[in-house]
Amino acid sequence: MKVAIQFAMPAELHALPGARELAPFETVAGIPFFEPAPGILACAGGVGKVNAAIAAAILCRRFGADLILNAGVAGCCTDLPTGSLVVADTLVQHDVDTTAVGDPIGLVSTVNVTEFPAWQPDECLELLRRQGVSAVKGRVATGDWFAVKGQRASWIADTFHPLLVEMEACAAAQTCLRCGVRFAALKSVSDHLFSDRQAEEYFDFGAALEKLGRVVLPFAQALSALD
């Protein structure tokens, strides 16, 4: 199985061992693409839903990925410790709202779903466990908003009940759904939405990046060995 790791920020990509020394093998639509291990692709496609969808579409259509692994840091709605790893089981887009025309909140038109499933989350947890890595699974809520403590964050938590909130994963999941490509997400907790120290946590997420960087490439290689 051809696996591509999709990050948003270069800092997330650079957490991979040796990634800073890698030269891109091709640049498409302004996005450099790398091969951090034989048969494994990687890119940092940019922050936000549109950037994520563009990068995912290129990985699917130009480079023929069989599975996209969206990886990065994310804000947490609970008290999971910083650096905790989360495998997405379902994903939603919290900023999609066509309720004015009678749709349920979060319904994404064209594909007409409110909840996007991730590929085999229990199998992903088992692969991590075999590598000696502890992780949990949970829902990821995506939207073009940097989530901070306040009424909007509370509404997202009460409406969609996510474990994590971030800005890319579900857009990539939507792209994969339309392209017929498998999708998985592995996130590292960088900050806590309802903490008074959230900003301080986010701008000091080195521990979260380090944990992710150690795990994500071996995890991608384990996925690539599957049928």
- Strand segments, DSSP code E, in 25-134 are 26-28, 31-37, 40-44, 67-76, 85-93, 116-117
Average pLDDT, the chain: 96
Superfamily of domain 3-224: Nucleoside phosphorylase domain (3.40.50.1580)
For 92-120, letters b (16+ CB in 10 Å) and e give bbbbbeeeeeeeeebbbeeeebbbbebbb
pLDDT in tens, 113-167: 999 999 999 999 999 999 999 999 999 999 999 999 999 999 999 999 999 999 9
CB 105 within 8 A of CB 213: no
| pLDDT of the residue at 207 | 84
- Cα distance between residue 73 and residue 32, in whole Å: 20
| For the chain, the helix, strand and coil percentages under 3-state DSSP, each to the nearest 5 | 35, 30, 35
Residues 122, 89, 15, 84, Cα dihedral to 10°: -80
Banded pLDDT at 205 (limits 50, 70, 90): confident
Please indicate whether residue 126 is annotated as part of the active site.
Answer: no
pLDDT at 174 over 90: yes
Q: How far is Cα 227 from Cα 224, in angstroms, rounded to an integer?
A: 8
Active site residue 66: no
Side-chain half-sphere CA neighbours of 11 within 13 A? 12
pLDDT of residue 4: 98
Query: Residue 139's pLDDT is what?
Result: 98
Q: How confident is the model at residue 32 (pLDDT cuts 50, 70, 90)?
A: very high
Question: For the purposes of burial, counting CB atoms within 10 Å of the CB of 132, is it exposed (0-12), middle (13-18) or buried (19 or more)?
Answer: exposed
Catalytic residue among 12, 89, 168, 201, which?
12
Given the residues 89, 168, 191, 201, the one annotated as active site: 191
Nearest to 74 by CA among 165, 209, 6: 165
Q: DSSP labels for 174-219? A: HHHHHHT-EEEEEEEEEEETT-TTHHHHHTT-HHHHHHHHHHHHHH
- Assess whether pLDDT exceeds 80 at residue 227: no
Pairing of strands 136-142, 85-93: parallel
Q: Average the pLDDT over 202-222 and give the result.
A: 91
Structure confidence at residue 203 (pLDDT):
80
